[in-house]
Amino acid sequence: MFSIFPIKGYIDQIDGFYCAGIHAGLKPNGNNDLGFIYADTLCDVEAVFTRNKFQAAPLKHYQAYEKGFKTNFVLINSKNANAMTGQKGIDNINRLFAALKHDVTNPIMSSTGVIGNPLPVEKILAGANSFDLTSKDGEGLSKAIMTTDAYSKHCMYEVEVEKGKSFKIGAVAKGAGMINPNLATMLCFITTDANVPKEDMKPALEAAMHTTFNAISVDGDTSTNDTVLLLANKKSGVYAKEAFFEALRMVMHDMAMLMVADGEGAKKAVAFEVINAKTEQEAQTAAKALSNSLLVKTALFGEDPNFGRIASTIGASEITCSEDTLVISYNDVVVFEKGEILFNKEVEAQAGEVLKKEQYKIICDIGQGEASYTAYGCDLGYKYVEINADYRT
């Protein structure tokens, strides 16, 4: 049996990984906007990218490497997504890396920010050339990748697979637009010293996606730049498949939950549990419809136990359902049960108490089968509009 326990610090807690972030002149407010991850040995790398048809230039640049390539360097900038920039966008990355003074192998670029502006290559190059690749400044990196994020997102775990044998795995991430069927970019960089075989890396990533990042955004409705990157330097020499898969899932779940809670002004993180649906696909369809409904989100913001919007959203999602089998609860407060409205003054007050919490569940028992799925969402208030009305400036 393995144990997974959280430890402090950033991804540079792992032996052999280095990182930092600086202000390279991209953000007008002087905040960090350029960062790197460096490894002192070559790493195996796997990635999951957006399904958006207009993948940004850095994603195309990555995919042009030969299958099975190794790398020791990731350069990340915010404020400019290098998306919708065509072949010029890719040329800019190649030009940048060609002029880099550091000796790195198969460098990877990752970008987030405004779509449709040319990459400011000279600023980024000057910044990147000023890096000290032996830095251990995880906080600096985590700030450099933020856009509308209200706080930095990172985690680190130590996984003991048997007494005295352990590996580490951790991540740094950005993403705060998961509040909606969204196009806000999600980036997540995961490092590990687990001795994971290359062939296990992609399956582990994909298995974890389903219940983590995919549960906080709508399939297919994704940014041009969404990226989850896993770097493994194998230095611990330790590996256990089950432990690694579970630890990776925990890391990605942590990052996903921090993104939900940081939903561009959101105050509440809500789990939409759909249970007893006919199929898992239907459970997922309904759960995501709930977590993405504007009318549900604004009711959560208003702390209004308006369960009619919950029911209507389920009905509109076109899954197999019937009023006669549906049960809706806020945490343990049942408000609708199989065709019966249980909503009196007392129940409304109890439900209202639940809605005042910062975290709670909305449970929808469809009563048509045994499949379930939980999606995570948040409320939507004035702050969201403020953040997104004039994002580019």
Annotated binding site for substrate: 147, 174, 185, 264, 388, 393
Q: What is Dmax (Cα atoms) for the chain?
A: 70
Q: Which is nearer to a copy of itself, 61 or 235 (CB)?
A: 61
Q: How far is the CB of 367 from a copy of itself (least distance, A)?
A: 13
| Residues contacting residue 92 through CB under 8 Å, at least 6 positions apart | 57, 82, 85, 118, 119, 121
Strands (E), 250-326: 269-277
- Helix ranges (H only) for 10-82 are 57-63
Sign of CA dihedral 284, 55, 146, 72: positive
Q: Which is nearer to a copy of itself, 212 or 313 (CB)?
A: 313
70-77 and 327-330 strand pairing? unpaired
- Exposure string for 274-304, b = 16+ CB within 10 A, e = fewer: bbbbbeeebbbbbbbbbbbbeebbbbbbebe
**CA distance linking residue 343 with residue 346, whole number of Å:** 8
Q: How many CA atoms, within 13 angstroms, populate the side-chain half-sphere of residue 248?
A: 31
Q: Which is nearer to a copy of itself, 19 or 380 (CB)?
A: 380
Q: Is 262 exposed, middle or buried (0-12, 13-18, 19+ CB in 10 A)?
A: buried
Q: What is the DSSP letter of 66?
A: P
Q: Which is nearer to a copy of itself, 192 or 224 (CB)?
A: 224
Specify the residue for token string 């049996």: 1
Is 185 part of the annotated catalytic residue set? yes
The residue from 112, 148, 185, 192 that is catalytic is 185
Q: Which is nearer to a copy of itself, 7 or 316 (CB)?
A: 316
| Residues contacting residue 199 through CB under 8 Å, at least 6 positions apart | none
Q: How far is the CB of 206 from a copy of itself (least distance, A)?
A: 19
Q: Is 244 exposed, middle or buried (0-12, 13-18, 19+ CB in 10 A)?
A: buried
Q: How far is the CB of 66 from a copy of itself (least distance, A)?
A: 24
Q: How far is the CB of 92 from a copy of itself (least distance, A)?
A: 12
Contact status, residue 29 vs residue 78, Cβ threshold 8 Å: no
Q: How far is the CB of 86 from a copy of itself (least distance, A)?
A: 4
Annotated binding site: 147, 174, 185, 264, 388, 393
**CA distance linking residue 187 with residue 129, whole number of Å:** 23
Q: Which is nearer to a copy of itself, 308 or 367 (CB)?
A: 308
**CA distance linking residue 219 with residue 55, whole number of Å:** 15
**CA distance linking residue 354 with residue 298, whole number of Å:** 16
Q: Which two tokens stand for residue 326?
A: 């549906």
Q: Which is nearer to a copy of itself, 36 or 301 (CB)?
A: 301
Q: Considering only CA atoms, which of 195, 194, 177 is closest in space to residue 186?
A: 177
Q: How far is the CB of 60 from a copy of itself (least distance, A)?
A: 10
Q: How far is the CB of 393 from a copy of itself (least distance, A)?
A: 8
Residues with catalytic annotation? Answer: 185
